[in-house]
Amino acid sequence: MYRKFSANRIFDGFQWLRENQVLITDNNGKIEALTSIEKAGDDIEFLDGIILPGLVNAHVHLELSHMKNVISPNTGLVQFLMQVVSKRGSFSKDIVQEAIREADKEMWAQGIMAAGDICNTADTLAIKEKSSRIIWRNFIEVISLRDENLNTVFNNANALLRQFESADYQSAITAGNSIVPHAPYSVSKNGFLRLNQLTTGNTISIHNQECEAENDLFEYGTGDFLHLYKMLGYNKLPVEITHKTSLQSYLPDFDGNQNIILVHNTATGKKDVEFLIQYRKEKNITPWLCLCPNANLYIENKLPDIALMNSFSLPFVIGTDSYASNYRLSIGDEIATLAKHFPEIDLSIFLKAATSNGANAMGVEDRLGQFKAGYTPGIVLMKKDFSTQRIL
């Protein structure tokens, strides 16, 4: 049995198709063909909206799903981080597991096929093994500012990595696993150098330039992060003042052909973009700018300069971040915010970010992200209000 779908518009993962095209799949959603309405024959299901391949959520913290409505919005990043650290542990194991299960189901129902998930714990493993149909890329996150603890931190991260590597996933595959830095301000120089060695040729992720204070820290040794360090008991700065922005300070530590997902980029300026393009050329790294606009509005009430980044044709992917800083884990909601704040950017840029770019960044472009014969990429309907639902 075949299914035949048409809609107001069809986006194939890369571009809009011309009008009156029909997507033909088998009952499981395996793509058979894209053809014209004249050749498709009878029984075409017409959907009101845009048909898209399954979506990719390039940045989520599934293990923080129990933190919905726990942290107040617009506190700024440092206050936000202190609240996450102090509150994340005060929930029962059952509440944490139930929230993970619900968040996973919510993501799947909206058409998310693959996700890049930040893991500080093994809390999400049970759901990923037993019920999740999403293809996960697990980023085991390292926070390490004290070099005397470096070996312990990396031994723990390696043990967690092995758990995720040896898991028996319900989706039958993973997109991969790697150890990654949390953020420029939470990993020491030696930590970065060790991460570079561990991740040669692999895909990593980092929370990048999430606020201006992050640049102030590296450029001048000033700003909000000094409060955080004081609270954590540091007498002197645990990072080096480089007189450069955050991105320009740590990125040169990575020269192993990594695929790097730069998350947030709220305080990324023109000089950073130019530096990134030059560095990509010199070192053969592959950067992806991950946009999480709803989390940016929740935490900092500020958005990245997406028009600037787009003018340099840097590739975007899209993430929801976690329930600690978002009201939903919906790629459609993120695209709605992007379309509202950047009406001059063609919607196809954001749809590509959420489909083929996301699949590429996760390393699953050989099976997801586009309507290609033989693929089973998921079939998603996006309505006028940008909400999405899984059709297959």
Q: Which residues bind Zn ion (CB under 5 A)?
A: 321
- In the complex with Zn ion, the residue whose CB is nearer, 87 or 244, is 87
Report whether 152 contacts 122 (CB < 8 A): no
CB 331 → Zn ion: shortest distance, Å? 15
CB 136 → Zn ion: shortest distance, Å? 15
- In the complex with Zn ion, the residue whose CB is nearer, 292 or 347, is 292
- In the complex with Zn ion, the residue whose CB is nearer, 117 or 321, is 321
- Which residue is closest to Zn ion by CB? 321
- In the complex with Zn ion, the residue whose CB is nearer, 104 or 321, is 321
CB 56 → Zn ion: shortest distance, Å? 16
3-state DSSP call for residue 175?
coil
CB 95 → Zn ion: shortest distance, Å? 21
> What count of other Cβ atoms lies within 10 Å of the Cβ of residue 43?
9
3-state DSSP call for residue 131?
coil
- In the complex with Zn ion, the residue whose CB is nearer, 142 or 379, is 142
CB 373 → Zn ion: shortest distance, Å? 36
In angstroms, the CA 205 to CA 334 distance is 19
Pairing of strands 203-208, 379-382: unpaired
- In the complex with Zn ion, the residue whose CB is nearer, 25 or 209, is 209
List the one residue out of 84, 304, 350, 315 whose CA is nearest residue 209: 304
Q: How many helices (H) and strands (E) does the chain have?
A: 15, 14
E strands, the chain, in order: 2-10, 21-26, 31-36, 44-53, 55-60, 112-119, 135-142, 176-181, 203-208, 259-264, 286-291, 316-318, 379-382, 388-390
CB 180 → Zn ion: shortest distance, Å? 11
3-state DSSP call for residue 120?
coil
